[in-house]
Structure 1
Amino acid sequence: MGTQGRAPGQRLGVASVVLLVLGGAVSCTGGVGGYLFTPTRVVVSDSMKPTYTTGGSIVVNMLAPGVERGDVVLFDSSVWGERGLFLERVVAVGGDRIAYQRGDRTLTLNGKPLEEPYVLDGDPVAGSPFAFDVTVPEGRLFLLGDARGNSADSRYRFEKTEGGTAPVSAVKGTVIGTGHPLVVGFRTAVFAGAAVLAAGAVSGFAALRLRRRAGAAAAAAAAAAQQPAYAGQVPPPGA
């Protein structure tokens, strides 16, 4: 069909539908993806102070492919006989040897002093109830809070699990910053989708106006065709 058979605003109308569908899909992908895979959680204790404090917000990457030393993780505390999700830092992974001797000012990891600039008051051994020397089993993690004097972490779980550790399978996600590619990607998708939706709405409005104008013009033309050419004038002789 040629352009003569196309209704006014038809192209804009089709573009509007396409943009609205596309924008909705992109926005939903970003919103749902962000909600499911990079959710925001509220910190409920000061065990990770000063890094994270009670009432603060964190973003959790539920798609993390693995866990590494130094990661802050959200995990299921039922493996320690507790309820809910706990927030702790991974200080040793499977195969590592983590130890503390009375009088030491730091923990040792694989025989070397462990530097932990993130701990509260610069005291990584605060609150340690006793000396320990643990070789972490494969597939498990030794977890400590940054506020060592206020964290019921692996140091207090020796009676519950192997060396006070927690299984990697209990980890629900790792804490990431708002600048992480996943977070940026999902949030960008939401805003980009909203922009496309807006463009679709504008296109739809423009198409509607074109159709209304074309309809008004057609109605006016039809009305003019039904009246004599001399309507409103003195009729010619013999009329």
Structure 2
Amino acid sequence: MDIRGGVPGRRTGVAAVVLVVLGAVLSCAGGIGGYFFMPTRVLPSDHMRPSYPAGSSMVFNLLITGVERGDVVLFDAAAWGERNLSVERVVAVGGDHIAYAPGDRTFTLNGKPLAEPYVLDGDPVAGTPGAFSVTVPEGRLFLLGDTRGNSADSRYRFQATEHGTVPVSAVKGAVIDAGDPLVLGLRSALFGGIPVLAAGVACVGVARRQRRRATAAAAQPVFAGQVPPGG
């Protein structure tokens, strides 16, 4: 104990524990949440122009709990007989009726023209091989690329699976804006947690040195360097 009755290095040790725990929590939350569950993938093909040209970096949220029309999703293409993950846009969900007849300028969704401002050249029916009329089964999705003239999507998969659809369970994640506060917050936590963790480790070293010095001082003879009293 020091002359004030405290344990040498105790305050520094407590600060070290707090910093190490806080730094570890921030680093783990940021690393796992911001990069493992929200990974960045590069789109290899050009079928999602103009929204996502080939080579685009796309951040996917793997923690999604539901899929909506308009979502751009990462999914297992096994339902289409492929062994890979693919990216398409959700155009219709379970219970929707989507149709096309040659000469139409748009697809119809539940009997109404489907507005799709995201498609290349404003031509949503480009490359469509022929007429179709599909009621999407519950729990499945009708998926299309944004470059309709160059996308092997649900329109070409009628023979491979149920009306060219894929099960919702095949979806692994949905695109999230890289500037979304959730992404920025989690990834910032990682880079903020690393210096906090380093500061905690440094405090551990300081606390140990303080304890060693106090122990060494306590081991010195009371009259070291002084003339001992006569006896």
Give yes or no for TM over 0.5. yes
- Equivalent positions of 1:87-126 (< 5 A) are 87-126=87-126
Matched residue, 1:76:
76
TM-score (normalised: structure 2): 0.87
Aligned to 1:226, which of 201, 204, 224? 224
* Cα offset, 1:25, TM superposition: 2.7
Corresponding residue of 1:236: none
| C-alpha separation in 1, matches of 2:87 and 2:138 | 21
Determine what percentage of the aligned residue pairs are the same residue.
67
66-75 or 172-181: bigger deviation: 172-181
2:138 aligns to what SS in structure 1?
A: coil
User: Which residue identity does 2:142 align to in structure 1?
Assistant: F
Equivalent positions of 1:117-196 (< 5 A) are: 117-196=117-196
Structure 2, gaps ≥5 residues long: none
Matched AA of 2:194: A
Kept after mapping to 2: 8 A contact 1:99/1:107: yes
1:137-184 Cα offsets, whole Å, 9 max, x none, are: 111111000011110000000111121111111111111112334423
For residue 225 of structure 1, give the secondary structure of its aligned residue in structure 2. coil
- 1:168 and 1:43 map into 2 onto residues whose CA distance is 21
Shift, 1:228, TM fit? 4.0
Q: Return the index of the structure with the highest Cα Rg.
A: 1
Q: Does the 8 Å contact 1:38/1:182 carry over to 2?
A: no
**Partners in 2 of 1:63 and 1:194 — Cα distance?**
24
- In structure 2, how many angstroms separate the alpha carbons of the residues matched to 1:175 and 1:3? 62
Q: Residues of 1 paired with 2:138 and 2:224: CA distance?
A: 91
2:63, 2:181 → 1: CA distance?
12
Indicate the larger mover: 122-131 or 191-200: 191-200
Quote how far apart the aligned CAs of 1:13 are: 1.9
Could you tell me how far 1:113 is from its partner in structure 2? 1.2
SS in 2 for 1:50: coil
Residue 47 of structure 1 pairs with residue 51 of structure 2? no
Q: What is the letter of the counterpart of residue 225 of structure 2?
A: Q
Q: Closer, same or farther in 2 for the Cα pair 1:3/1:112, shift >3 Å?
A: farther
Q: Take 2:37 and 2:62, find their aligned partners in 1: how far apart are those partners?
A: 5
Task: Report the aligned-residue RMSD.
Answer: 2.6
After superposition, the C-alpha distances for 1:194-213 in whole angstroms (9 at most, x for unaligned) are 24224424534554565576
Residues 92, 3 of structure 1: CA spacing in aligned structure 2 closer, same or farther, 3 A cutoff? farther
Question: Residues 109-135 of structure 1, C-alpha deviation per residue, up to 9 Å, x if partnerless?
Answer: 111111111111111111111111111
- The number of residue pairs the alignment matches comes to 228
In structure 1, distance between residues paired with 2:167 and 2:159: 15
Query: Does the residue aligned with 1:68 lie in a helix, a strand or coil?
Result: coil
Could you tell me which runs of 5 or more consecutive residues in structure 1 were left unpaired when the two chains were aligned: 230-239
Aligned to 1:17: 17
Evaluate the alpha carbon distance shift between residue 133 and residue 5 of structure 1 in structure 2; reply closer, same or farther with a 3 A threshold.
Answer: same
